[in-house]
Structure formats: C-alpha cells, structure tokens
Amino acid sequence: MRSDSGHPDNEDHFLLVRSGGHRCAIPVEAAKLVTKAPKVYPLPSSALRLLGLAQVGGEPVAVVDLHAILDPDGCPGGGHELTVIVRTRSGGSAIGLAIDEAFGVISVGRQRQRSTDDPGWVTGRITMDGRTVVILDPEQLFVPASTD
C-alpha cells in the first residue's frame, strides 16, 4: 500500500542534511530545491536565526540558519555551503534553510520514527548509523511566533 506520493504507506522520504553537528531529516514534500548558498542580504534588527534575504530563482527568499534553530543556545553555524528551499504544503511561502551538507534522499519506516516532546517543528527522531537524526516539520517554521 502506497501513500498519495506513491511511496509505501509505512515509510516516509526525507532529505538528509547536516547543519553543524546536527543531522536533520526534511520531508521531501517540503523540500523543493537544494542550491548552493546564495548571496544573503542581512536584515536589520532581525533574529539571529534569520540570516537575511536571498534571491533564488527570481524570488526573494528568507534564509534561516538551521543550526541556530536546532541549537539556539549554541554558537552560530559556520559554512552554510548549501541552502534547502522549503515551501508550505499549500505551495505558498518559501523559506531557505542554510545547511552545511546534504546527503541525499532516504526512506525511513514509520516504526523507526520516534515521537518526542520537542518544539513543534521537530516531529520526531530516528537513529541512523548510531546517530540521532531530527525529523523537521517545515510547516511549523512558517507559524508566526506568539506575541506573548
């Protein structure tokens, strides 16, 4: 039995990336494009995780430091060799995740995915080659922060 995307129902496909010391799995439905890090124009008074604006495929895209998202208390990320462009399911807004390396598309059985109490944009964790891989939910990245 396959899902709507044509894959078997009991497994999901993720784009496996690395940002700093973290490995993340981005659902391929959200990942639209992997590109070399574009020129980023910083925005004034922006949060640390927002590196700035870049132009990808003729569209302005906000580029976010994935490492800063995963480890807000840690040091800012380095290299940022690549940028993964993610979009909402509705296909509206796009956002760029600055990463260091992209390993490829992997298939992960759902039974291997563990749910966690992490913030909303982390939907679960999996273990690969003895390392913990964080499963991201890009939709949560587009949720406006509460004003409380």
Partner 1 sequence: MQAERRTSILRQWLGMAILTVVILVGGVMLEITSDGDKEEWYIDAWMVLGIAALASHLVLVSLPRVRLERAHRELEQRHAQQCTILEKSLEEMRHGDLVEFLGAVDQLPEVMSEAVQAAAQAISALVQQIQASSVEVATSAGTVHATSAELVEGASQQAAAVVEITATTEELARTAGQIATNASGQAEFVAKAQDAGNEGAHSLEGAVQGVGELRHGIEAIADRADILGKRSREIYRVLDLITEIAQETHILALNAAIEASAAGEHGDRFGVVAEEVRRLAERSRESVESVRQLLDGFSESIRSVVVATEEGSKSAVQVLEQSRSTQDAIEQLRSALADTAGAAREISLATDEQRTASNQVVLTLREISEVIQRTADSFQQFTSSAERLSGLALSIQLLTQSFRTDSGHSLKNQVLGWSDRLRDSTANLEVVEGVLADVVRNFPYIELAYLVDTSGSMVAFEVNRAVVDDHRLKVTVSPGQAYADRPWFQAVSRDQRTAVTPPYVSLLTDDRCFTIAAAVRNRSGAMIGILGVDVNVRSWTSI
Binding site for partner 1 (CB under 8 A): 2, 4-7, 13, 15, 28-29, 31-36, 82, 102, 104-105
CB of 58 to partner 1, least distance (A): 17
Interatomic CA distance for residues 11 and 23, integer angstroms: 19
Q: Which is nearer to partner 1, 33 or 53 (CB)?
A: 33
Closer residue to partner 1, CB minimum distance, 53 or 102: 102
Q: Which of 18, 34, 31 is nearest to 71 (CA)?
A: 18
Q: How far is the CB of 79 from partner 1 (least distance, A)?
A: 13
How many C-alpha atoms does 58 have within 13 Å on its Cβ side?
A: 0
Residue 36 or residue 45: which is nearer to partner 1 going by CB? 36
- Closest approach, Cβ 21 to partner 1, in A, equals 21
Closest CA to 139 of 88, 103, 90: 88
Measured from the CB atom, the residue of 36 and 145 that comes closer to partner 1 is 36
DSSP string, 105-131: EEEEEGGG-B--SS-TTEEEEEEETTE
φ, ψ dihedrals at 69, nearest 5°? -70, -45
Q: Which is nearer to partner 1, 4 or 117 (CB)?
A: 4
CB 84, min distance to partner 1, A: 9
Cα–Cα distance measured from residue 99 to residue 65, given in angstroms and rounded to the nearest whole number: 7
Find out whether 19 and 66 touch, Cβ atoms under 8 Å. Answer: yes
Tell the smallest beta-carbon distance from residue 68 to partner 1 (Å). 23
